[in-house]
Structure 1
Amino acid sequence: MKYYAIIVAGGSGSRMQSSVAKQFLLLDGKPLLMYTIAAFSQCPLNPQILLVLNIHQHSYWEELCFAHNFDIPHQVIKGGEQRFHSVKNGLKAITGKGIVAVHDAVRPLVSSELILRSYRNAEELGNCIPGITPSDSVRRVLNDGTNEALSRNELTLVQTPQTFNVDVLKKAYQVPFRNEFTDDASVAEYSGQRIHLIEGERENIKITYHEDMEIAAIFMKNRK
């Protein structure tokens, strides 16, 4: 079986009010994106790594790799207008059959153990989506401005990697983009696929705000 990893790195850093794209922010002296790629390279299944990156950032990424002596093999692919289009570009670069994991570049603390579990479950079930149960109480805001309580035990906070049989995901991505396509699971579900959930990791946070960088630094320190 052949394994692939599509790392989607399209973030601009706007919500962090940063001039540097989030995937290039430094965590313990190294760009976030390098931790992400390293996690997949450490998976014993040795996936082929495809980095989907804004075309205007390709040369900057090359400079960063040189400056940090980063030599993990990976293929850099032109990103698209939306995440949907970037993933589609990554899928086009895969010519064979196998299992593909799609992962957010700004989830640098994903463990190789979760990556391996995702590949194995997707190989058996056709797809695999990690998620964690919310720790806070949750309410739903309705269109009329009112709100109602929801049971957090019936909810999951979805993470990546989201992992699929290559043929299944390619078929799902043949449809035009829709606003409700927020991740790969939503695209696959729209095509009629039943989504299979597994337990994610609390440390597998997505870097979105400045506070997330501080939390990630604590997790990184604890790992050391």
Structure 2
Amino acid sequence: MNYTVVLPAAGSGKRMKADKNKLLLELADQPIFLHTLAVFERDEACTGIWLAVKQSEQAIIEAYVREAGFTKVRGYATGGKERQDSVRACLELIPACEVVLVHDAARPFIEPVVISNLVQTAYEKGAAIAAVPVKDTIKRAVDGKVLETVAREQLWTIQTPQAFRYPLLLQAARQALADAFLGTDEAMLVERLGEPVHLVESTYENIKMTTPDDLVYGKAILEKRQ
């Protein structure tokens, strides 16, 4: 089953304590986002990659893509104020397809088998998201006082990719815009339509490069895989 992937790449370096987009920071001698692109470039089922970028960074990102020799990057959308705006901008540009994935450009360690399972589940059921079971004890608290310990057996940490039938996600994105609703992820927009979203178990290595510590973890993951 083939798919198209959308990569929001218009972030900042604030939590990374960097003076530029964190995706341009280097991990093993190349920008973080190139590691992510490489996963989809190698996947035969991926027919196209679309990026949402800042207008001021598009030229440098395009240059990196050309230099890396990637052939599946089909186009660029101008990133919006919110991630949700960036994703919608890409959805409005891409040719209609059966399954579309949305993936954080800052998650370079997604496993191909997880992508495959997500695509198949989305094709069959409409919507699927990568997730891992919560490992820690979780407590609900108010003003520093614990109110209860939450049963973690029903809790999952949500990652990306998130996979959907293309018409479903486009409808959800347009409806959120019409309602001036801001969600925390694409699945939340689909949930608003009353559509079920299915979990696909991912791996704990599928971390998002967000803080300086993550660069240390990322280097360790690369060394382990090599």
- The two structures share one fold, judged by TM-score above 0.5: yes
Contact 1:7 1:102 in 2 (8 A): yes
Query: Which protein is richer in strand relative to its size?
Result: 2
Note the C-alpha offset of 1:132. 0.5
State the alpha-carbon separation in 1 of the partners of residues 215 and 186 from structure 2: 25
State the alpha-carbon separation in 2 of the partners of residues 82 and 119 from structure 1: 25
State the alpha-carbon separation in 2 of the partners of residues 143 and 183 from structure 1: 27
State the alpha-carbon separation in 1 of the partners of residues 68 and 50 from structure 2: 19
- Counterparts of 1:175-186 in structure 2 under 5 Å? 175=175, 176=177, 177-179=180-182, 181-186=183-188
Contact 2:114 2:200 in 1 (8 A): no
Amino acid at match of 1:24: L
State the alpha-carbon separation in 1 of the partners of residues 100 and 12 from structure 2: 25
- CA RMSD in angstroms, aligned pairs only: 1.7
SS in 1 for 2:59: helix
Contact 2:139 2:146 in 1 (8 A): no
Q: Percent identity?
A: 29
SS in 2 for 1:169: helix
SS in 2 for 1:101: strand
Contact 1:42 1:112 in 2 (8 A): no
SS in 2 for 1:161: strand
Amino acid at match of 1:178: F
SS in 1 for 2:46: coil
- Counterparts of 1:32-51 in structure 2 under 5 Å? 32-51=32-51
State the alpha-carbon separation in 1 of the partners of residues 48 and 104 from structure 2: 16
Residue in 1 that maps onto 2:174? 174
State the alpha-carbon separation in 1 of the partners of residues 191 and 167 from structure 2: 14
Q: Deviations over 1:158-191 (max 9, x none)?
A: 0100000000101111122424x00001111012
Contact 1:131 1:200 in 2 (8 A): yes
Residue in 1 that maps onto 2:203? 201
State the alpha-carbon separation in 1 of the partners of residues 211 and 145 from structure 2: 27
Residue in 2 that maps onto 1:115? 115
State the alpha-carbon separation in 1 of the partners of residues 41 and 85 from structure 2: 24
State the alpha-carbon separation in 1 of the partners of residues 141 and 90 from structure 2: 36
Residue in 2 that maps onto 1:138? 138
State the alpha-carbon separation in 2 of the partners of residues 192 and 144 from structure 1: 35
Q: Which moved more, 1:169-178 or 1:6-15?
A: 169-178
Note the C-alpha offset of 1:142. 3.7
The answer for unaligned runs of 5 or more in structure 1 is none
**Structure 1 residues 106, 145: closer, same or farther in 2, change over 3 A?**
same
The answer for unaligned runs of 5 or more in structure 2 is none
Amino acid at match of 1:100: V
Contact 1:44 1:116 in 2 (8 A): no
- Counterparts of 1:2-151 in structure 2 under 5 Å? 2-65=2-65, 68-74=67-73, 75-142=75-142, 146-151=146-151
Contact 2:4 2:97 in 1 (8 A): no
Relative to the length of structure 1, the TM-score reads 0.93
State the alpha-carbon separation in 2 of the partners of residues 10 and 200 from structure 1: 25
Matched, 1:216 2:218: yes
State the alpha-carbon separation in 2 of the partners of residues 110 and 6 from structure 1: 14
Note the C-alpha offset of 1:102. 0.3
SS in 2 for 1:119: helix
SS in 1 for 2:5: strand
Note the C-alpha offset of 1:62. 2.7
State the alpha-carbon separation in 2 of the partners of residues 70 and 28 from structure 1: 18
Relative to the length of structure 2, the TM-score reads 0.92
State the alpha-carbon separation in 1 of the partners of residues 140 and 225 from structure 2: 36
Amino acid at match of 1:208: T
